[in-house]
Amino acid sequence: MKTSKASTSFLQQLILLSVGGINLIVLLIIFSVWRTGDRVINFASNIFKPQPVELKIDDSTIIVERLQDLQELTTTVQTMEKIVPTSAERTVGDIPIATTRLLYIAKGEVRAGVDLKELTVQDIYIDNKSIEINLPSAKILDSKIDVNDSRVYDYDRGLFNLGPDVAPQLQTIAQRETLQEIVETACQENILENANLRAKESISQLLINLGYSQVKVNTAQSKSCK
């Protein structure tokens, strides 16, 4: 009987020790969870939390918008002065009896450059700090007569002023002819080639200022100068 009681006592102690050990382990687990609970919760919440959508804007689009803001880039302005004679006759039947002559000194201006509104994203290639851009071809953007610096140099209605009094009409003809002549002269003097060259220089410098270290600007040959 003593042996049986001793065994029972030993078994009880073993059980108590086991229960105590389990309780200790449970307490350690609870303590660990308590210490790391915030991180576990944050980790779990981050997994299931919807991530914000990252919106990216293509650099090519930004460059196009900036260049299009410049609209028409005038790179070459050519001014010239022309002396234009005009005349009108008074006739009887088919026979001229008097002639009116008007000598007009006209000062005109021709602007050439590239229309950057024609630029598209497909015309720009960007690789890190390198950029290549294909510019639209240069063209005549505007031509006009400076009426403030132009004048009638001579107006003669002939003998006894028998010629028709048509000064305004002759002046209009002179201005129209002057516009045509100054555009033709500008084309003969390669205004579009100069406009392409200066557009290339201007855009290259602009892109360098925007932070690109390697810049290549391609220009297109103009099909027509008029």
The DSSP result for 92-136, as a single string, is ETTEEEEEEEEEEEEEEEEEEEEEGGG--GGGEEEETTEEEEEPP
| Beta carbons within 8 Å of 75's beta carbon, 6+ residues apart | 112, 113, 114, 138, 194, 195, 196, 198, 199, 202
Q: What is the pLDDT of residue 77?
A: 93
Least confident of 41-55, 79-93, 121-135: 41-55
* pLDDT one-digit tens code per residue, 188-208: 999 999 999 999 999 999 899
Cα–Cα–Cα angle for 125, 126, 131, rounded to 5 degrees:
85
- pLDDT exceeds 70 at position 147: yes
pLDDT band at 29 (very low <50, low <70, confident <90, very high): low
pLDDT band at 47 (very low <50, low <70, confident <90, very high): very low
pLDDT band at 30 (very low <50, low <70, confident <90, very high): low
- What whole-number distance in Å separates Cα of residue 13 and Cα of residue 20? 10
pLDDT above 70 covers a percentage of the chain that reads 73
Cα–Cα–Cα angle for 132, 138, 139, rounded to 5 degrees:
160
Q: What is the pLDDT of residue 49?
A: 55
Tokens, residue 187: 């084309």
- pLDDT exceeds 60 at position 225: yes
Q: Tell me what the pLDDT averaged over the chain comes to.
A: 81
Instruction: Give all strands of the β-sheet with 214-218 in edge-to-edge order.
Output: 124-127, 130-134, 214-218
Q: Averaged over 31-40, what is the pLDDT?
A: 55
Sign of CA dihedral 55, 61, 66, 69: negative
103 alpha carbon, distance to own chain's centre: 45
Q: How many CA atoms lie within 13 A of 118 on its CB side?
A: 12
